[in-house]
Amino acid sequence: MDYFDLNLNLTSEDIALREAASKFAREVMRPVSIQLDRMTPEEAFAKGSPYWDFMRQAYQLGYHKLPFPEDFGGPGLSPLQIQIVMEELAWGSFGLTLALNTSLDAAVAMAGTEEHIKEFTIPYCQCTDGSYVGCWAITEPDHGSDTLVTGYPSFRDPNIPANCRARLDGDDYVINGQKAAWVSAGPLANHILLMCQIDPARGHAGSGIFIFSLDRPGVALGKPLNKLGSRDLCQGEVYFDNVRVPKKYLIVGPENYEAALEAHLCLTLPMVGTWATGLARAAFDEALAYAKQRVQGGKPLVELSNIQQKIFDMFRKVEASRQLCRAAFVYNWSQPFSPEKRAIEYSMAAKTFATQAALEVTSDAIQILGGNGISKEYVVEKLFRDARTTLICDGSNDTLSVVGGNKIAGAYPRRFQS
């Protein structure tokens, strides 16, 4: 379904992009996503499964490279256009949209050298058959929230040992350890953006960011994890046993790691919030359509005042989510490498608000559908399960709120920009 956009400055190109993504989400993503949700993880991601057919179609249309500039082979979209298209795709599926965007994170890839861009980013952008699969790995079996709380004493505590470490040996880094079962696309990946510890004396802050292909001796990939929601997103471990990686593949070293991680979170958090907004809007659309056709006591549900109130509450949350996520993403995209101007508190607010809203909106959608809401015959029970995963993805909301509050306490009152 279409939505009204308050932005009076949308161009005909913005609207055309939105319509094309909306059609793809409705006609391709939603049906595949439901199919994958009902399969076992082994079936869903096996060679020849509908997942791979979907990826081929999405890569052909360029939906795997939305954030990349034209110089790298990307579409060169404005930040607003990226946000608009991402919300549409996530209307079709949160998990598949995440899967399309976990490969070689754009912000960090752009921080790489010309050589990194030539070797990794351009071939990724040129891929049209879904075969170039990247993953982003930071979470470890013993370290989830720990790895994201930049600025916190625990982030710099040398007494907290990491599960995955890189040690310089001649011209190579030697990597040992593992990343957690939460690595999106981990079991399918042939490339990785790896955040792992290099200097234990600095704790997690002593990490670095590597980019490399996974076809090296000592790399092993886990099995796809079985989950409550976002079942169309493949997740699993990546293991390293004395894996040698030339030092030219280190993009960011320990001296700049904390700032680079913050820059990364500034962009990924409102993007996760944007996907949650698309998911919530899908539930809103389903509930409204159902309320118009379901008759109880002689009238359609939609004529009942409590249903109208619920519909309004859902609408309010979807619209507020979009505005906050869009503003945080567009603003921070324009300042990625300018630490004094970045506003990570807005990105944290956007992600936590939109994902909480998605959980509430999908729950309300189930309530409006009554018994049908919990039946597999209707998509809202899937949307509810998918929404539950968003509160943990890219940093749990509780942790982000604690860290966000800490940042605000330290940085406010903030000056208006000149």
Ligand X SMILES: Cc1cc2nc3c(=O)[nH]c(=O)nc-3n(C[C@H](O)[C@H](O)[C@H](O)COP(=O)(O)OP(=O)(O)OC[C@H]3O[C@@H](n4cnc5c(N)ncnc54)[C@H](O)[C@@H]3O)c2cc1C
The site for ligand X (CB under 6 A) is made up of 102, 136-139, 144-145, 148-149, 182-184, 230, 389, 392-396, 398-399, 402
Task: Tell me how far, at minimum, the Cβ of 20 lies from ligand X, in Å.
Answer: 26
User: Shortest distance, CB of residue 164 to ligand X, whole angstroms?
Assistant: 10
- Least separation in angstroms between residue 391's CB and ligand X is 8
Supply angle C-alpha 372, 373, 376, rounded to 5. 75
Given the complex with ligand X, which of 283 and 311 has the nearer CB atom?
283
Shorter beta-carbon distance to ligand X: residue 183 or 209: 183
* Minimal distance, residue 128 CB to ligand X, in Å: 23
Whether the Cβ atoms of residue 91 and residue 281 lie closer than 8 Å to each other: yes
Angle between helices 305-333 and 254-293 in degrees, nearest 10: 150
CB of 142 to ligand X, least distance (A): 8
| Rounded-to-integer distance, Cα 367 and Cα 410, Å | 41
Cα 368 from Cα 284, distance rounded (Å): 10
| Closer residue to ligand X, CB minimum distance, 349 or 393 | 393
CB 63 within 8 A of CB 101: no
| Residue 311: CB minimum distance to ligand X, A | 28
Take residue 322 and report the two structure tokens written for it. Answer: 């979009």
Minimum Å distance from CB 257 to ligand X? 15
* Amino acid at position 178, single letter: Q
Environment class of residue 249 by beta-carbon count within 10 Å: exposed (0-12), middle (13-18) or buried (19+)?
A: buried
Q: How far is the CB of 86 from ligand X (least distance, A)?
A: 15
Q: Which lies closer to ligand X via its Cβ, residue 223 or residue 294?
A: 223
What is the C-alpha end-to-end distance of the chain, expressed in Å? 41
Residue nearest to ligand X (CB): 144
Considering the complex, state which of residue 182 and residue 249 has its C-beta at the smaller distance from ligand X. 182
Q: Alpha helix (H) ranges present in 38-105?
A: 41-44, 50-60, 79-92, 94-100
Task: Tell me whether residue 281 or residue 351 sits nearer to ligand X (CB atom).
Answer: 351
Residues composing the chain: 418
Q: Which is nearer to ligand X, 269 or 311 (CB)?
A: 269
Task: Read off the tokens for 377.
Answer: 């015959």
